[in-house]
Amino acid sequence: MPFYLNPNTKEPYLRLGAPHTNIIITPHRLDRLDEDIPPRVEMFNDPKIYMVLDGPPVPYLYENGVSWVKSIGEQLLPVVEAIQANPADPGVFGESPFSCIRLVSREDKDGHPLEDCVIGDITITRYAFYEYPQDSEERTAAQNANKELPAGDESIAWGIGCFLSPRYHGQGIMTSALRTLIHDWAVPYMKARDIRASVNLGNNSSLRVFEKNDFEEVCTLKDWKKVSESRGGGVQSIVVRESPEPSIHSDDSSGVLDADDALAIRLIMRVVNRSLQLHGPGYQITVLSHPEPELFLLAHTGLDQDFSKGSGF
């Protein structure tokens, strides 16, 4: 099995590949909050981290860490227990319990961790559909529809979030952590096929992490999201990338997309309707007959096309 079970603690964990085998990804430890919260607080109060993340409060207090870790840890406890109960065949899950990136400082004779400390975090959760305008009904509808899909449904759209202590930046750790999370957990145990990331334009190290994991650029949305006053205010452009297996597939030899995937198509349509520039692999706009007359479908053709000037818009 691609994950490990620590015989000393019964904790399941993922281990990064060489040269980062001293780094593991574990669930939150509800019984070790006093060890795990301080590094989180330190990271979230570092401008290199909080300026590029939307969620965590600024400043980030110890209590913020406790309530977050407790709520997420308790929510994911059933997954951890299912893995512990049947590690050889734990089943299929709608969540990842593996999120705390830890540097191991001491191991037992078999290589299982005995001592470690939190140095970062990586999550794969139901995607937030940043491509739809902030606070729009479309975004809420897309999020709700995606949330309703049952565990194991290959059409679920997943989103990645991550951060690492600046002390460890630039060593390839997050690139390896993302690869490990996807290949050792999300693909085999969540059946994740459609994994996306939305990154602030200019956050080049994050963009590189996804690029090195072969995520392809879907679009760049200019001046797209409002930035909180505690992070300087204004608006920020974002770049959306997706994992190599595309979220929408051609269903015939002409390369025309499957009209059933209305959610994904609407998502792209919304972007197009906003006359925003789309980069990345080439697409061609094709109009198909469909009950909804405004529905345009996109097909991969290998052509480069600027959608803002595209036909039919």
Residues near ligand COA (CB under 6 A) are 48-49, 52, 162-164, 169-175, 197, 199, 203-206, 208-209
In whole angstroms, the minimum distance from the beta carbon of 205 to ligand COA comes to 3
Given CA atoms 18, 20, 22, 26 in this order, what sign does their dihedral have? negative
In whole angstroms, the minimum distance from the beta carbon of 125 to ligand COA comes to 13
Please report, in angstroms and rounded to a whole number, the separation of the first and last CA atoms in the chain: 50
In whole angstroms, the minimum distance from the beta carbon of 163 to ligand COA comes to 4
| Residue number with CB closer to ligand COA (158 or 307) | 158
**What DSSP string runs through 188-248?**
HHH---EEEEEEETT-HHHHHHHHHTTPEEEEEEEEEEEPPGGGT-SEEEEEEEE-SS-SS
| Residue number with CB closer to ligand COA (192 or 297) | 192
Pairing of strands 113-126, 296-300: unpaired
| Residue number with CB closer to ligand COA (39 or 90) | 39
Whole-angstrom distance, CA of residue 238 vs CA of residue 34: 35
| Residue number with CB closer to ligand COA (70 or 167) | 167
In whole angstroms, the minimum distance from the beta carbon of 134 to ligand COA comes to 16
| Residue number with CB closer to ligand COA (80 or 182) | 182
Whether the Cβ atoms of residue 265 and residue 248 lie closer than 8 Å to each other: yes
Spatial neighbors of 181 by CB under 8 A, at least 6 apart, are: 14, 25, 96, 98, 122, 124
In whole angstroms, the minimum distance from the beta carbon of 187 to ligand COA comes to 20
In whole angstroms, the minimum distance from the beta carbon of 169 to ligand COA comes to 4
| Residue number with CB closer to ligand COA (49 or 83) | 49
- CB neighbours (10 Å) of residue 82? 15
Residue 279, amino acid: H
